[in-house]
């Protein structure tokens, strides 16, 4: 490609409002352009990089038995209603009506379609296992698009799906994807870790997310500082310090004026926060079912914080939001001085919104906690669960954080930020049962197909590679995903000798299957070198009267400061050797990882 014919142009400065370096650089280098909120066009340079990423993905999916197909981006709503997710998924799913007034959906993911297809195609155990995948447009009406391609509304995703006879078969395919994903990211030169994660709206029994650790990430990850324990904070467990053993004492009401926080209460009573009980209030329920809405009275020990995802999972609900002061008062609780003790009515509803009391599993084993008296200015000493109140649910609902003990080895945990670049899910039979996707086993008995789902966001992966590989001058593409391998620069285009040499090199590189972009524009050397650094191709070849006088072409790697003069005759061989070494270095970084 010649830059004089390029559709896109470079920008000296990033548009206002861009924060992530990947966003700034991909815009400035002419890889992407923003069309609307969370909507981007991928320009020719970006498209070439995306195509190389997609080819890596295809190769690794094919290597574990994948068959590529294509599924539509527009779905009949009936399919999503059949799975139950029409009612569960909120406004992030784009719904519309066609000209015949039929409800339709823009695909967020394709579990429903795979369940439908499995029901039509799979009949016998002899047809299993199967693995299918595609690279397809998705749309999620995200309310907070940010950081360029990191969080968008329309995107391309590789989603693959496995179909198996049983859980043992699913486990094999899950493990195959687990390893294949690491190979994909390593081939793209992106460091990632796999963390346990919440299954969320996908459902199923197990999920992992692949995370690129970076300060711009929105996910909080909890990592052990010693062993390999890693989890999204949404589900991270930790070893809770045991409370000292002591006999339960008689409950006693004490005055605690102006003590609405745990810190104020602990200071007044000269106790540690771990000797207090903290009340946190929510409302929550099933999506689309108003009758399921409950007031949720959550209790954790005062030295801990609640984890909303854990509460949602423990109660089997779809949504959770902070309760209003009016909703709290309606239960008989007093904000700042609340506990489940003494709430009106045996069923704790008082004829109002039903109340569910959920306590963290550390609370029943922690004797004599200080808790609210549901009276302004007063608390209760020596409260004991379940002696003084009977919770509806006891579960792990505490959030893990920095310094907490690892649940595996006891070492301190640390939190970091990360961007999710992929995920894998054990779906089980949720979708196959919804669509009647069964097979006849060896005895002729129908059995539900066991499914798995696995996704990679291609644009987000591109952005994370850019985030990882850049310097103050611009992008530095890994050789495996670069749009072009060589950036050829000719200085003083009016010099016939320079142009003739550049044309020969351009033709020879193209004939040698070495991808090359030639800056043949009538621009100053400073502009051309700045754009070469900004675009970030691995190798730069500069042809000038000076280089010709020295015997050839100036050769420079983008990731190194030094340059050398290489003769025109030896240039192709030298480029081939250097590119081969770069590819070998990248291959040397690939390490097999298994679950």
Tell me, what's the pLDDT at 243?
85
Asked if residue 256 has pLDDT above 50, the reply is: yes
229 and 309 inside one domain: no
Tell me, what's the pLDDT at 344?
67
374 and 440 inside one domain: no
Q: What is the CATH number of the domain that holds 581?
A: 3.40.50.800
513 and 569 inside one domain: yes
3 within domain boundaries: no
428 and 504 inside one domain: no
Residues 6 or more apart in contact with residue 161 via CB below 8 angstroms: 110, 111, 114, 131, 132, 133, 451, 452, 453, 454
463 and 496 inside one domain: no
Residue whose tokens read 């930790």: 238
Terminal Cα distance for the chain, rounded: 43
Tell me, what's the pLDDT at 176?
97
Q: What is the DSSP string of 346-400?
A: TTS-TTSS-EEEEEETTSTTS-SEEEEEEETTEEEEEE-TTTS---SEEE--BPP
Asked if residue 285 has pLDDT above 80, the reply is: yes
Q: pLDDT grade, residue 357 (50/70/90)?
A: very high
DSSP3 helix / strand / coil % (the chain, rounded to 5):
30, 30, 40
Q: pLDDT grade, residue 347 (50/70/90)?
A: very low
Token reading at 362: 């550390």
The mean pLDDT of 321-335, rounded to a whole number, is 92
297 and 324 inside one domain: yes
pLDDT tens by residue, 7-50:
999 999 988 889 899 999 999 999 999 999 999 999 999 999 99
Q: pLDDT grade, residue 351 (50/70/90)?
A: low
Asked if residue 201 has pLDDT above 70, the reply is: no
408 within domain boundaries: no
Neighbours of 280 (CB within 10 A): 18
Tell me, what's the pLDDT at 29?
97
549 within domain boundaries: yes
Q: How confident is the prediction for the chain on average, in pLDDT? A: 94
Judge contact between 548 and 496, C-beta under 8 A: no
Q: What is the CATH number of the domain that holds 278?
A: 3.90.960.10
Residues 6 or more apart in contact with residue 84 via CB below 8 angstroms: 434
247 within domain boundaries: no
Tell me, what's the pLDDT at 203?
66
Report whether the peptide linkage leading into residue 496 is cis, meaning its omega lies within 30 degrees of zero.
Answer: no
Residues 6 or more apart in contact with residue 96 via CB below 8 angstroms: 103, 104, 106
pLDDT tens by residue, 110-142:
999 999 999 999 999 999 999 999 999 999 999
526 within domain boundaries: yes
Q: How many structural domains does the chain have?
A: 3
263 within domain boundaries: yes
Asked if residue 467 has pLDDT above 60, the reply is: yes
The mean pLDDT of 283-301, rounded to a whole number, is 89
155 and 265 inside one domain: no
243 within domain boundaries: no
Judge contact between 529 and 3, C-beta under 8 A: no
296 and 200 inside one domain: no
49 and 136 inside one domain: yes
Burial (CB count <10 Å: 0-12, 13-18, 19+), residue 211: buried
Residues 6 or more apart in contact with residue 356 via CB below 8 angstroms: 294, 295, 296, 297, 315, 392, 393
6 within domain boundaries: no
20 and 163 inside one domain: yes
pLDDT tens by residue, 73-122:
999 999 999 999 998 888 999 999 999 999 999 999 999 999 999 999 99
Neighbours of 375 (CB within 10 A): 15
Tell me, what's the pLDDT at 595?
83
Task: Calculate what percentage of the chain has a pLDDT beyond 70.
Answer: 98
The mean pLDDT of 231-259, rounded to a whole number, is 92
Domain coverage including residue 54:
12-236+415-467
Question: Which uninterrupted H or E stretch holds 541?
Answer: strand 539-543
String of b and e for 12-38 (b: at least 16 CB within 10 Å)? Answer: eebeeebebbbbbbbbbbbbbebeeeb
Give the C-alpha separation, 406 to 237, whole Å.
8
Tell me, what's the pLDDT at 286?
87
563 CB-side CA count, 13 A:
15
230 and 258 inside one domain: no
Residue whose tokens read 């030094």: 562
Give the C-alpha separation, 193 to 317, whole Å.
29
Among residues 405, 439, 467, the one where a domain terminates is: 467
Residue whose tokens read 């991270």: 236
Among residues 332, 361, 395, the one where a domain terminates is: 395
User: What 3 state SS string does 394-453 have?
Assistant: EECCECCCCCCECCCCCCEEEEEEEEEEEEEEEEECHHHHHHCCEEECCCCCEEECEEEE
Q: What is the CATH number of the domain that holds 68?
A: 3.30.930.10
The mean pLDDT of 489-515, rounded to a whole number, is 94
Tell me, what's the pLDDT at 594?
86
């Amino acid at each position: 490609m010649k830059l004089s014919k390029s559709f896109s142009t470079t920008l000296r400065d990033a548009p206002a409002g861009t924060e992530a370096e990947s966003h700034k650089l991909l815009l400035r280098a002419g890889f992407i352009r923003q069309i609307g909120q969370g909507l981007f066009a991928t320009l020719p340079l970006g498209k070439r990089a995306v195509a190389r990423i997609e080819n890596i993905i295809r190769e690794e999916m094919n290597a574990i038995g994948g068959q590529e197909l294509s599924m539509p981006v527009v779905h009949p709503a009936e399919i999503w209603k059949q799975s139950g997710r029409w009612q569960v998924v909120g406004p992030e799913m784009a719904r519309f009506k066609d000209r015949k007034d039929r409800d339709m959906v823009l695909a967020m993911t394709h579990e429903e379609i795979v369940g439908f297809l499995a029901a039509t195609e799979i009949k016998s155990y002899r047809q299993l296992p199967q693995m299918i995948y595609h690279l397809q447009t998705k749309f999620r009406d995200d309310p907070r698009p940010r950081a360029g391609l990191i969080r968008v509304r329309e995107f391309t995703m590789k989603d693959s799906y496995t179909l198996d006879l049983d859980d043992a078969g699913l486990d094999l395919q899950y493990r195959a994807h687990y390893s294949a994903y690491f190979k994909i990211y390593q081939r793209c030169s992106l460091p990632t870790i796999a963390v346990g994660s919440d299954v969320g709206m996908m459902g199923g029994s197990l999920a992992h997310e692949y995370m690129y650790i970076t300060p711009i990430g929105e996910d909080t990850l909890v990592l052990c500082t010693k062993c390999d324990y890693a989890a999204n904070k949404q589900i991270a467990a930790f070893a809770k310090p045991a409370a000292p053993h002591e006999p339960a004492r008689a409950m006693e009401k004490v005055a605690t004026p102006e003590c609405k926080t745990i810190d104020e209460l602990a200071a007044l009573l000269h106790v540690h926060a771990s000797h207090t009980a903290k009340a946190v209030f929510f409302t929550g329920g099933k999506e689309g079912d108003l009758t399921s809405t409950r007031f949720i009275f959550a209790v954790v020990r005062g030295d801990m914080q609640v984890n909303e995802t854990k509460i949602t999972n423990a109660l089997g609900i779809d949504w959770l939001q902070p309760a209003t002061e009016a909703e709290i008062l309606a239960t008989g609780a007093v904000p700042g001085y609340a506990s489940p003790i003494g709430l009106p009515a045996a069923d704790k509803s008082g004829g109002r919104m039903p109340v569910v009391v959920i306590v963290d599993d550390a609370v029943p084993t922690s004797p004599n906690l200080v808790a609210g008296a549901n009276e302004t200015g007063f608390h209760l000493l020596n409260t004991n669960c379940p002696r003084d109140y009977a919770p509806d649910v006891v579960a792990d609902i505490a959030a893990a954080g920095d310094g907490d003990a690892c649940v595996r080895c006891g070492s301190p945990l640390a939190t970091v930020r990360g961007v999710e670049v992929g995920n894998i899910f054990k779906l089980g039979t949720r979708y196959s049962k919804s669509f009647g996707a069964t097979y006849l086993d060896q005895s002729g008995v129908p059995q539900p197909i066991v499914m798995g789902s696995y996704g990679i966001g291609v644009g987000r992966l591109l952005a994370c590679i850019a985030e990882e590989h850049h310097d103050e001058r611009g992008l530095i593409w890994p050789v495996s995903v670069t749009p072009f391998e060589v950036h050829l620069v000719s200085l003083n285009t009016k010099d016939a000798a320079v142009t003739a040499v550049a044309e020969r090199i351009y033709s020879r590189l193209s004939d040698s299957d070495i991808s090359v972009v030639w800056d043949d524009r009538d621009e100053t050397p400073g502009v051309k070198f700045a754009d070469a650094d900004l675009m970030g191709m691995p190798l730069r070849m500069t042809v000038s009267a000076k280089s010709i006088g020295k015997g050839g072409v100036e050769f420079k790697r983008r990731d190194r400061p030094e340059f050398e003069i290489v003769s025109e005759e030896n240039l192709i061989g030298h480029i081939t050797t250097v590119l081969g070494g770069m590819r070998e270095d990248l291959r040397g970084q690939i390490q097999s990882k298994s679950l």
